[in-house]
Amino acid sequence: LEVRVVAQISSQKPSPDPDRGALYGDGFFTTGLIESGLVCHLDKHLERLLNSAQRLEFTKFTVAPIQDKLVELSRTNGQAVFRVTVSRSQYQRGYAIAHEQSTDVVIHLYPWVAPPPKPCEVFFAQTPISLNTKLAGLKHLNRLDNVLAATECQLPDAEAIMCHNDWVFCGSRSNLFMRESNQWLTPALNEAGIAGITRSRLIDSAKRHGIEIRECQISRRQFERAQAAFVTNSLWGMRPISKIENKPLDIAQSCELKALLSFER
Amino acid sequence: LEVRVVAQISSQKPSPDPDRGALYGDGFFTTGLIESGLVCHLDKHLERLLNSAQRLEFTKFTVAPIQDKLVELSRTNGQAVFRVTVSRSQYQRGYAIAHEQSTDVVIHLYPWVAPPPKPCEVFFAQTPISLNTKLAGLKHLNRLDNVLAATECQLPDAEAIMCHNDWVFCGSRSNLFMRESNQWLTPALNEAGIAGITRSRLIDSAKRHGIEIRECQISRRQFERAQAAFVTNSLWGMRPISKIENKPLDIAQSCELKALLSFER
| Number of residues in chain A | 265
The predicted-structure confidence for B46-61, as pLDDT tens digits, reads as follows 999 999 999 999 998 9
By Cβ distance, the residue of A4, A24, A130 closest to B147 is A24
CA distance A237 to B63: 43
How many percent of chain A have pLDDT more than 90? 90
The predicted-structure confidence for A102-127, as pLDDT tens digits, reads as follows 999 999 999 999 999 999 999 999 99
pLDDT attached to residue B7: 80
CA distance A142 to B67: 28
Q: Which residue has the higher pLDDT, B265 or A167?
A: A167
Residues from chain A contacting residue B23 (CB–CB below 8 Å): 29, 85, 141, 143
Give residues 104 to 163 of B whose Cβ lies within 8 Å of A.
104-111, 126-135, 140-151, 153
3-state secondary structure of B16: coil
- Residue in chain A closest to B4 (alpha carbons) equals A106
pLDDT greater than 90 at residue B265? no
For residue B260, the number of C-alpha atoms closer than 13 Å in the C-beta half-sphere is 14
Contact between chains at A22 and B24 (C-beta distance less than 8 A): no
- Residue in chain B closest to A97 (alpha carbons) equals B151
pLDDT greater than 90 at residue A263? yes
pLDDT attached to residue A119: 97
Amino acid residing at A230: F
3-state secondary structure of B79: coil
Measured between CA atoms, how close is A165 to chain B, in angstroms? 10
Helix or strand holding residue B159 (H, E): strand B158-164
Mean pLDDT, rounded, for B91-101: 94
A73 touches chain B (CB under 8 A): yes
**Any idea which of A42-46, B10-14, B160-164 has the lowest mean pLDDT?**
B10-14
H helices within chain B, ranges in order? 20-24, 42-55, 64-76, 144-151, 197-208, 220-224, 252-260
How many percent of chain A have pLDDT more than 70? 98
* Mean pLDDT over each residue of chain B, to the nearest integer: 95
pLDDT greater than 60 at residue A11? no
Contact between chains at B26 and A144 (C-beta distance less than 8 A): yes
What is this model's ipTM? 0.96
Contact between chains at B131 and A130 (C-beta distance less than 8 A): yes
Give residues 155 to 194 of A whose Cβ lies within 8 Å of B.
164, 172-173
* Mean pLDDT over each residue of chain A, to the nearest integer: 95
By Cβ distance, the residue of B8, B107, B142 closest to A3 is B107
pTM for the whole structure: 0.96
pLDDT greater than 80 at residue B14? no
SS (H, E, C) chain A: CCEEEEECCCCCCCCCCCEHHHHHCCEEEEEEEEECCEECCHHHHHHHHHHHHHHCCCCCCCCHHHHHHHHHHHHHCCCEEEEEEEEEECCCCCCCCCCCCEEEEEEEEEECCCCCCCCEEEEECCCCCCECCCCCECCECCCHHHHHHHHCCCCCCEEEEEEECCEEEEECCEEEEEEECCEEEEECCCCCCECCHHHHHHHHHHHHCCCCEEEECEEHHHHHCCCEEEEEECCCEEEEEEEECCEECCCHHHHHHHHHCCCCC
The predicted-structure confidence for B175-207, as pLDDT tens digits, reads as follows 999 999 999 999 999 999 999 999 999 999 999
How many percent of chain B have pLDDT more than 90? 90
Measured between CA atoms, how close is B94 to chain A, in angstroms? 8
Contact by Cβ (8 Å): B238, B198: yes
CA distance B134 to B137: 9
Contact between chains at B147 and A95 (C-beta distance less than 8 A): yes
pLDDT attached to residue B10: 67
By Cβ distance, the residue of A9, A140, A164 closest to B144 is A140
Measured between CA atoms, how close is B226 to chain A, in angstroms? 27
pLDDT classification of B264: cutoffs 50, 70, 90: confident
Amino acid residing at B144: L
* Dihedral (CA of A62, A67, A70, A75) sign: negative
Q: Which of A111-115, B9-13, B239-243 has the highest mean pLDDT?
A: B239-243
pLDDT classification of B36: cutoffs 50, 70, 90: very high
- Residue in chain B closest to A30 (alpha carbons) equals B23
Contact between chains at A23 and B141 (C-beta distance less than 8 A): yes
B260 touches chain A (CB under 8 A): no
pLDDT attached to residue B137: 98
B39 touches chain A (CB under 8 A): no
